[in-house]
Structure 1
Amino acid sequence: MQTPETAESSQTPVVKATDKGKNVVQENQPQQQSVSVASLSVQQLQDMIANSIRAQYGGPPQTTFTYSKPYTKRIDSLRMPLGYQPPKFQQFDGKGNPKQHIAHFVETCENAGSRGYQLVRQFVRSLKGNAFEWYTDLEPEVIDRWEQLEKEFLNRFYSTRRTVSMMELTNTKQRKGELVIDYINRWRALSLDCKDRLTELSAVEMCTQGMH
């Protein structure tokens, strides 16, 4: 078992968050891909896991604490109709039927005099809970059409999507011979479909407990 000083000086795979929210492995030497948990310090393991899942659990990016709107500047510059008053929307919290929510939202907007691109700016008013958190975690300035936002929303919340229970997530363990980074990424992918939202701290602890 290496000491923390020895482990820190060795070249180990490191998970880094890219500007697209994905995780990549930086490998210094090919033969060190098979690093075991025993060769890493507790702090290194926790840092590796935290960096991998920070974005999905609402942790602020390390470079900025500011919020950026997910739609383009073109959408942001559009003016609402003269005299437009935002209607009271039914709010969606991540549960229920997302297609029905879209239908209610579009109908409410059109009755109030807004349509098309204007729906993009109004959509956030109809979200709360997990759905609102999903919206705020979208990449900045990636949405330029209502159809694009609608597709992203349905892909995330459509009722036929497989959901992962907390029990399944808790029972997900590192497989024999599985690399640490592969286990972390597999666990993270499962956690994205978990019906119960975890805090970043809880996610790190649960993922760590599944290692051997």
Structure 2
Amino acid sequence: MIASTIKTQYEGSSHDSVLYSKPYSKKIDTLNMPKGYQLPKFMQFDGKGNLKQHVTHFIETCNNAGMEEDYLVKKFVRSLKGNAFDWYTNLKPEFINSWDQLEKEFLNCFYSTRRTISMLELTSTKQWKDEPIIDYINRWRSLSLDCKDQLSETSAIDMCVQGMHWGLHYILQGIKPRTFEVLATRSHHIELSIANHGKKEPITDFKKDKVFAPNIDKIGKKPAKEAFTVNTTPIKTSSTPIKIDVIKDSTQIKPSF
């Protein structure tokens, strides 16, 4: 009895295979494929991954081949493998009456391991201490694609910049990239320039695309000139008064008679 049970479990019984019938109704079974139909190549789903993505790809592939609505039921099995194929073959005979029903049954049976990201989690995502800027942008971008709230590319870029290290954040606020491609390129160049600046090498002003050498302290300083306004007082001598004027350069004295 034990041997028979194990054999049935792993090999299946001939009785079950004889009783197998298609899981969709006779109405669907009698549907003929459109004229000129050619069997497309389907992506296969094994029970893991993104369910909606698989269904969307399957529908688009069928529509391009001239199939719509209930015609999809007859070909859906060709897009399944592994656990997903086992689920399909275990459906009750003539249980499926429409594509909408099959799609719902499929989505209810399997679940996506893809996690939904909230806006709060997205705004709290920051660049790690030693994380290269390209890695941070790719990580942030992947999270944003799973966000339940739709973001425009401009808003997403601004939010991504907010999570960068202060130096990059400060410079990129003035540049304002409009695409993630430009953001990644500019950020990478700025990151390299900041690193080179620490080694006293020229850095680039990415806003004006000019190169500046590091500042060198000047050795000498010009003496400051002071302007004085002094009331002149006549100095009397034996016969003629002498008036002394103080000009801008206090080291020169000009007597006037």
TM tier, shorter chain? Answer: 0.3 to 0.5
Using structure 2 for the length normalisation, give the TM-score: 0.39
Using structure 1 for the length normalisation, give the TM-score: 0.47
Q: Which of the pair has more CA radius of gyration?
A: 2
